[in-house]
Amino acid sequence: RVKQDNPDGGASRTMQATCGQLSVVDLAGSERVKRSGVTGSNFKEATNINGSLLALGNVIQALADKRKHIPFRDSKLTRILEGSVGGNCKTSLLVCVSPADTSTSETLS
């Protein structure tokens, strides 16, 4: 609630505002390093992506289990998304999965 005084000396008024946050994150998919054959800086990036996805999965599992400690500090991604996945919020996930038979094991993991 915000109280606004009238500069002309008239009656003040109280207004109510609702704030929101929209976080759009492209997680770039889980990288199977052996399957994709990445090397060098791409290997490091794939490793970081996997670490962030693992940390996000741990946070979601801890929230679902209603644990006292939620490991938001385990990665930069979970720190950024803390306000979007915990507490009083609504969260939606858009997941793209490959329909190819060769991707079945990765899709189900």
Q: What is the pLDDT of residues 1-55, one digit of tens each?
A: 667 777 777 777 777 777 788 888 877 655 677 777 778 888 888 888 888 889 9
CB 1, CB 59: distance < 8 Å: no
Lowest mean pLDDT among 14-28, 49-63, 76-90: 14-28
Measured distance CA(52)–CA(80) in Å, rounded: 11
Closest by CA to 29, choosing from 101, 97, 105, is 97
**Contact between residue 74 and residue 56 where contact means Cβ atoms under 8 Å apart:** no
Q: Name the amino acid, one letter, at 35.
A: R
d(CA 55, CA 31): 15
Single pTM value for the model: 0.67
d(CA 59, CA 82): 9
Confidence of residue 102 (pLDDT cuts 50, 70, 90): confident
